[in-house]
Chain A
Amino acid sequence: MGARKSIVALVIILAILAIAPLGLPRFYTYLIALIVTTGLLSTSLNFVLGFGGIYQFHHAVFYGAGAYGAAIMISKLGYSGWLGFVVGPLVAAALSFVIGLICVRLSKLYYGMLQISLGSLVWAIVYRWYGFTGGDDGIHGIPMPELVGSPLGAYYFTLIVGGLSLLVMHRILNSPFGSTLQGIRDNAVRSQAVGVNVRRHQLAAVVIAGFFGGVAGVLFVVVDNSVFPDMMFWTLSLEITIMALLGGWLTFLGPMLGAAVTVSLRTFVSGFTDYWTLILGILLVLVILFLPEGLLGYVFEVWKRRTSESAEE
């Protein structure tokens, strides 16, 4: 779908979100910030999953790495919040480089299996290392810089950083690197035959995705002032994969839409029943059966059909 239309849609949504706190109670701004954070995480996963065809099964580990990187810098090592916010994504990118370097030799499902194992190993270390990571308790009450210390400050910070991250990823996907990545997704052998070093490009893509996963982790720290090992547990990786599939994994903003649906569902339906995942499951089955390109993919398809029909008339 047209890149320009995606950007226009993004700008309109951001404008609405920017004025949202004026009329909405605090609970809703927290919810929106959570959606942006989770959506950014899912988008960063989809950067390699949907656009790179790389089966990154355990992407949440980079979310956790970014969050823990920031939290430990601030709470355990006593650095300023801002420095922590920068270090978090870098830690995530570095971890992504190491895991990527090991996994990228394998293809498709084998990549996914090894990646999920190595990610779980990182989770196990974080879960057990009480002295450094707080173990299963995590780290709470992380002091924030004054600017983002208030809920409103945290909200706008999340919105701005999340929006910028999306723009940068969008830009990369439309660069030669992005074109090459999509070429590798469609046909790795052909890419090699035109001189593309497939593994090196995949590794770079995984590092970029890890970095933005880490940015999402930092945003969570800003919104919630805490970190815990569940942030890098494999079930979250599954959840953000479902978000990408639900929203449309071949569209740029699909994962964001998927995150909005999933997080809202969890927030509102789990008040009525513990089995909210049942509804999510049914929804996912319906989408896979009837809208294989996801919700946003379907919207674009209808849109394209309409514009081509009106062009013919």
Chain B
Amino acid sequence: MLRSSKGMLQVRNLHKSFGGFKAVNGANLEVADGEIVAVIGPNGAGKTTLFNLITGILSPDGGQVIFKGEDITGLPAHRTCKKGITRSFQVVNIFSRLTVFENVRIAVLSQQGKTFNLFTPSKRLVTDETASILKSVGLIKKKDSVCGALSHGDQKVLEIAIALGGKPQLLILDEPTAGMSPEETARCIDLIKALRNSMGLTILFCEHDMEIVFGIANRIMVMVRGATIIQGVCDEVRCNQAVQDAYLGGSDVCSV
């Protein structure tokens, strides 16, 4: 039923090589408005490269990326962000010398096109917007901590908060719970659900923890060696023979 609603993102036959290595080799993906889509696949399957291609951090060798009906293939990262796609990174990628608040503020200032304002002190701008984002992810109490000193789990949540600063329609999360403790993971899952349910965001993420994937994704896309082998609802993917052979280790998870 979700498949029939209007499309937010389409990726068609995307390719990217590094030297002779085909990192992404025929990736296809559809994300409908308001759904949560997971990308799974073994290490080195090209999931992060795919996200880098969609967000414009890398530019593809072939294929197409369509966002809300517009061809955004090869658009640089700062432009895809302005179109409404923002992301978090797998390896924590934040402004380590700045405080939690300043980290998110940069994203908000950029989203509002204020980064060429030379003379108003930053302190007086976008404080409410920044504070409300920090409240929504539960980091408001730590807003004045220098973010290099945060716990790993908090840094991963800060990643999401920075991405929210860009006011996205499509939020891409690259292994949002990697390295988190079980409690932090549970909180992060609640957060992701809340982002979809109360803020209406469309979310694309990749993750190794199958419990999380099957727990929150509406649909799942499976990548192996750079290529999409299937995209479908959870049960379709779980029972697919090719997926079981390639990824789920051949065990009979279909009956779960």
User: Chain A residues in contact with chain B, CB under 8 A?
Assistant: 171-172, 174-180, 182-183, 186-187, 189-198, 201, 204
User: Chain B residues in contact with chain A, CB under 8 A?
Assistant: 55, 57, 76-79, 81-82, 86-87, 89, 93-98, 102, 105-107, 109-111, 114-123, 125, 162-163, 165-166
Complex alpha-carbon distance, A204 and B98, angstroms: 22
Instruction: Say yes or no: B78 contacts A196, CB within 8 Å.
Output: yes
> What's the least CB distance linking A46 to chain B, in Å?
15
> What's the least CB distance linking B241 to chain A, in Å?
38
Q: A192-B77, A195-B111 are in contact. Are A179 and B106 (CB under 8 A)?
A: yes
Q: A176-B109, A183-B95, A201-B115 are in contact. Are A192 and B76 (CB under 8 A)?
A: yes
Instruction: Say yes or no: A172 contacts B118, CB within 8 Å.
Output: yes
Known: A177-B115, A193-B87, A195-B166. 19 other contacts (CB 8 A): A172-B119, A176-B125, A177-B118, A180-B106, A182-B95, A186-B98, A187-B93, A190-B94, A190-B95, A192-B77, A193-B55, A193-B86, A193-B163, A194-B81, A194-B86, A194-B107, A194-B111, A195-B86, A201-B116
Instruction: Say yes or no: A190 contacts B76, CB within 8 Å.
Output: no
Residues of B within 8 A of A182 (CB): 95, 97-98
A-B contact pairs, 13 of them (CB 8 A): A175-B122, A176-B114, A176-B125, A179-B106, A183-B106, A186-B98, A187-B94, A187-B96, A193-B57, A194-B86, A194-B111, A195-B81, A196-B78
Q: A176-B125, A180-B115 are in contact. Are A193 and B95 (CB under 8 A)?
A: no
> What's the least CB distance linking A175 to chain B, in Å?
5
Query: Looking at the complex, which one of B79, B121, B162 makes contact with A194 (CB distance below 8 Å)?
Result: B162
- Name B105's closest neighbour in chain A (CB-CB): A179
At the interface, is chain A mostly helix, strand, loop or mixed? helix
Our count of residue pairs bridging A and B at CB distance below 8 angstroms stands at 103
* Among B78, B82, B87, B107: residue with most chain A CB under 10 A: B78
Complex alpha-carbon distance, A180 and B110, angstroms: 8
Query: Looking at the complex, which one of B77, B117, B166 makes contact with A177 (CB distance below 8 Å)?
Result: B117
Residues of A within 8 A of B162 (CB): 190, 194
Complex alpha-carbon distance, A182 and B97, angstroms: 9
Instruction: Say yes or no: B165 contacts A194, CB within 8 Å.
Output: yes
Q: Which A-B residue pairs are the 8 nearest by beta carbons?
A: A195-B81, A192-B77, A194-B107, A180-B115, A186-B95, A195-B110, A176-B117, A183-B106
> What's the least CB distance linking B102 to chain A, in Å?
7
> What's the least CB distance linking A26 to chain B, in Å?
38
Query: Looking at the complex, which one of A176, A186, A192 makes contact with B57 (CB distance below 8 Å)?
Result: A192
Q: A174-B122, A175-B122, A194-B107 are in contact. Are A186 and B96 (CB under 8 A)?
A: yes
> What's the least CB distance linking B84 to chain A, in Å?
10
- Name B107's closest neighbour in chain A (CB-CB): A194
> What's the least CB distance linking A88 to chain B, in Å?
21
- Name A195's closest neighbour in chain B (CB-CB): B81
Complex alpha-carbon distance, A193 and B163, angstroms: 8
- Name B103's closest neighbour in chain A (CB-CB): A183
Complex alpha-carbon distance, A192 and B89, angstroms: 13
Instruction: Say yes or no: A187 contacts B95, CB within 8 Å.
Output: yes
Complex alpha-carbon distance, A204 and B115, angstroms: 11
- Name B93's closest neighbour in chain A (CB-CB): A190
Instruction: Say yes or no: A174 contacts B110, CB within 8 Å.
Output: no
- Name B104's closest neighbour in chain A (CB-CB): A194
Residues of A within 8 A of B166 (CB): 194-195
- Name A174's closest neighbour in chain B (CB-CB): B121
Complex alpha-carbon distance, A194 and B172, angstroms: 12
- Name A201's closest neighbour in chain B (CB-CB): B115
> What's the least CB distance linking B95 to chain A, in Å?
4
Instruction: Say yes or no: A189 contacts B57, CB within 8 Å.
Output: yes
- Name A175's closest neighbour in chain B (CB-CB): B118
> What's the least CB distance linking A304 to chain B, in Å?
12
Complex alpha-carbon distance, A190 and B114, angstroms: 17
> What's the least CB distance linking B101 to chain A, in Å?
11
Residues of A within 8 A of B86 (CB): 193-195
* Among B87, B122, B165: residue with most chain A CB under 10 A: B122
Instruction: Say yes or no: B116 contacts A204, CB within 8 Å.
Output: yes
Instruction: Say yes or no: B77 contacts A175, CB within 8 Å.
Output: no
- Name B126's closest neighbour in chain A (CB-CB): A176
> What's the least CB distance linking A311 to chain B, in Å?
14
> What's the least CB distance linking B150 to chain A, in Å?
15
Residues of B within 8 A of A204 (CB): 116
Residues of A within 8 A of B94 (CB): 187, 190
Complex alpha-carbon distance, A8 and B222, angstroms: 60
Complex alpha-carbon distance, A179 and B107, angstroms: 11
Instruction: Say yes or no: A179 contacts B87, CB within 8 Å.
Output: no
Instruction: Say yes or no: A174 contacts B76, CB within 8 Å.
Output: no
Complex alpha-carbon distance, A180 and B116, angstroms: 9
> What's the least CB distance linking A286 to chain B, in Å?
25
